[in-house]
Structure 1
Amino acid sequence: MSSKLNRIVQMDMLIRAETYPSVANFKARFEVSERTIYDDIDYLRSTLRAPLKYSRSRGGYYYSDPTWVLPAIMATEGELLAFFLSAELVRRYLGTAFEQPLRNAIEKLALSLPQQTPIDLSELTQHYTFQPGATVSTDPLLLTDLSEAIVERWRVAMTYYTASRGERNERVIEPYHLYNVRGEWQVIAFDHLRNQFRNFAVSNIEQWEVRRDERFIRDTDFAPDRYLAQGFLTEHGGSPRKVAIRFDEYQTRYIIRREWHPTQSIEHHDDGGVTLHFRTGALDEVRRWVLGYGRHATVLAPAELRAAVIADLRAALASYECDESQMSSADGS
C-alpha cells in the first residue's frame, strides 16, 4: 500500500472514530511534515469530496456527514496509482505529443499491480478539471524534439527571443533537462553563445533544428537538482544569496503549505506570521514574486533586494498618484 494511501485510510479511521484528531496528531502519528498533512486534508476535501470540517471547540477534524465513506477508487493501490497519474497527465500533457505514450505507460503500470480491475482513463478525465492559470502555449513537436535531443545527445540550433531585452538571436545549445514551472516549460542547456549552462523558456524558441549529425559529450558533473536549487522559479540567477521574507498572519496560511525552494526553512513568530528563509541567486525573480503579495510580504534580506522592492513600490505609488491627478483634472473640466 502506498504511503499516501496508507495515511488517507488511517486518517479516515481516526476521523470516523470521532476522536477529533488535529494536524499535530496526524503529524506525530505518520512522522511527516505539516505541509504533507495539509495536502492530505485538501485531497480528502477537494478530490474525494469528504465532508471534512474543523471543530474549534474540540480542536480537531470530524465528518459533518458520518455516513460518508471513501469512494471505490481507493479499493486497490493500482487504481489509486492510475488515478494520480491520470490526473497529472490531464494537468500537464493532455493534447500534447506526450499524451498517448504516457497513457500507455500508466495502463501497463496499473495492470502490473495485484487485484486490478479495468480502468477507463478517458472516463476519469471527464470528472476533473485543472485550471492552472495563465499557462504558456508550447509546440508539442518542439517538446518532443528537445526530449529526443536530450536522450540522444544531439545539439539544437534555434532562434531564441529574449523577452527581458526584446531581442532575437541565433544560438546552438546542448540540451540536458526539461522542467515545468507554473505551466511553462523550460529547458536547461549548455549555451554555446554564452559558454555556460542556462535555462531557456521553450515558448520563446521560435525556430529550431535538431542537428542529428552532431552529438555532444555530456558533462558528468551536471546535476539538474543542484542547478535548480541555485535559482528561483523560472530564473537561474548568479551566486546564491541568503534571502529572508517576512509574511504576515494572513499570508502565512498559504505560504506554509508549499515548498517554494529546496533550501527553504520557515521561522514562526508569535504574531502568527512567518519568515521564509532560502538561498538563491535569482533575485530579480524573487523581487517579482514578492511584489505579487503586496503589503502581506516584507523583504528582510538581502539589502539590495529590499531596496529594489521599495523602489518598485514607490514607482507604482507615484504612477497611481499621477493617474489620480489626471483623473481629477479630467473630472474638473
Structure 2
Amino acid sequence: MNRIDRLQAILTQLQSKRIVKAQEIADRFEISLRTVYRDIRALEEGGVPIGAEAGIGYYLMEGYHLPPVMFSNTEAHALLLGAKLIENMADQSVDTAFQSALYKIKSVLKSHSKESLEDLDQRIKVVSNTRTAPQTFDSHFLADIQQALAQHLTVTIEYFSSYNTKLTERTVEPVGLLYYNSDWHMIAYCLLRNDYRDFRVDRIKSLTFSKTFKSRSSDTLQNYLDSLARTEHLEEAVIIFDKEILRYAAPQRYGYGFVSEEDLGNQVRMRFLVGSTMGMAHWLLMYTNAVTIESPFSLKEAVQKLVMELQEHYLTESQSISTED
C-alpha cells in the first residue's frame, strides 16, 4: 500500500471509534510507531484536526465532517456475505438494523457496483442447521443486549430455566455475547447468584434496562472463557476419529468443547475440554468403531456403560419376542 492510500485508510480508521491507539494503526498496516507519528503529522498538516490524549491515542476533533465513505467491490461483497450470515445467525432486531445499514452502503456505490452486488446477492445462500427441537421462545433481544453492553446497563430478564422448566426473574450485568451450539448466549454477572452465568438468548422472554454499572477490571468475555478453561469441572478428552466419518463429526465438534486437532494420515486426533463425559459418550456412540478414546478413562467407562445398557435392552427385547413365538 502506498502512503497516500495508507493516509486515507488511517483517516477512515480514526472515524471508526472514539480513540485509536498508535499501536493499533501500526499493527494494522505493519509499520513502525515512528511511521505512525509521521503519518499523523502529515494528516494534521493537510488540515485534518486530530486530537491526542497522552498515553492513550488519537481522535478526530468534534464537529469535523468527512466526505461519504466509498467502498470497493471487494469490501461491498464482504458486507453482503456478512448480511447473509446475520440473516441466519442473528435475531430479527439485529437483522433489521443491518439490512438498513446495507441499503445505505448500496446507495453510495457506483452503478456497475450496484449491479454486480445485486447479481451476487442471488448467488449466495446460507442454509441454517436443522434443530433437533423447536426453541422455547423466539429471540428478539440481541440488539438490546448489544446496547446494554455498549452503555454498561444492568438488565432485568425473565428467563426460562430448562432444568426446572420455570420462569425466573434475574437482574444481571452483561459481560458479552457468545455464539455456540447454534445459539446465542449472554454471559453476565447475576446479582441473584453473585456469580457469572450463561443465559441462552432464545430463553429470555422479556428484557428491560435498568441503571448503569461500573465494570470490574475482570469483567471481560476473554477472562470468562479463560476461567472456563481453568475450572476443575472441565476435563481434557483425546479422541481419534477415522477420516471417513469426519464429514459428520466435524460440524458437531464445537458443541463438545473442541480445542485442537492433529492429522494422523487416515485418522485425526482431536482434543476437547469436556464438562460432561456422559454427554460426550452419547455423541461418540453413534460413530461406533470409527472412533477410539485415548483419554480419559472415565469417558471410556461412560461409553462401556451405554453399550451394556443397549445390549441388555435389546437382548431382553429379543428374548421377549422369542417367548411370545
Could you state the TM-score of these two structures normalised by the residue count of structure 2? 0.61
Letter in 2 for 1:315: E
2:147 aligned partner: 148
Measure, in 1, the Cα distance between the counterparts of 2:140 and 2:246.
Answer: 41
2:186 aligned partner: 187
CA displacement, residues 251-283 of structure 1 (integer Å, 9 cap, x when unaligned) = 24666789848973323335x112112445465
Tell me if 1:241 matches 2:240.
no
Measure, in 2, the Cα distance between the counterparts of 1:153 and 1:195.
Answer: 18
Measure, in 1, the Cα distance between the counterparts of 2:102 and 2:207.
Answer: 31
Aligned match of 2:264 in 256, 263, 269? 269
Aligned match of 2:291 in 292, 297, 309? 297
Aligned match of 1:81 in 75, 78, 92? 78
Letter in 2 for 1:85: G
Measure, in 2, the Cα distance between the counterparts of 1:254 and 1:262.
Answer: 16
Task: Describe the SS at the equivalent of 1:264.
Answer: strand
Letter in 1 for 2:206: W
Measure, in 2, the Cα distance between the counterparts of 1:228 and 1:121.
Answer: 40
How far off its partner does 1:303 sit? 2.4
1:250 aligned partner: 244
Distance 1:167 1:141, change over 3 A: closer
Larger CA Rg, structure 1 vs 2: 2
1:203 aligned partner: 202
Contact 1:186 1:200 in 2 (8 A): yes
Tell me if 1:102 matches 2:109.
no
* Structure 1 spans left out of the alignment, 5+ residues: 2-74
Tell me if 1:217 matches 2:214.
yes
Task: Describe the SS at the equivalent of 2:202.
Answer: helix
Distance 1:219 1:142, change over 3 A: same
How far off its partner does 1:77 sit? 0.8
Aligned match of 2:311 in 283, 293, 317? 317
1:178 aligned partner: 177
Could you state the TM-score of these two structures normalised by the residue count of structure 1? 0.59
How far off its partner does 1:155 sit? 2.5
CA displacement, residues 140-180 of structure 1 (integer Å, 9 cap, x when unaligned) = 43333333322332333334333245455443222222222
Contact 2:233 2:275 in 1 (8 A): yes
CA displacement, residues 89-131 of structure 1 (integer Å, 9 cap, x when unaligned) = 33224x7122221123334556778996116669826863513
Query: Please, what is the CA RMSD of the aligned residues?
Result: 4.0
Contact 1:267 1:274 in 2 (8 A): yes
Distance 1:239 1:329, change over 3 A: same
Measure, in 1, the Cα distance between the counterparts of 2:308 and 2:225.
Answer: 32
Letter in 1 for 2:238: A
Contact 1:247 1:297 in 2 (8 A): yes
Measure, in 1, the Cα distance between the counterparts of 2:251 and 2:143.
Answer: 33
Contact 1:160 1:171 in 2 (8 A): yes
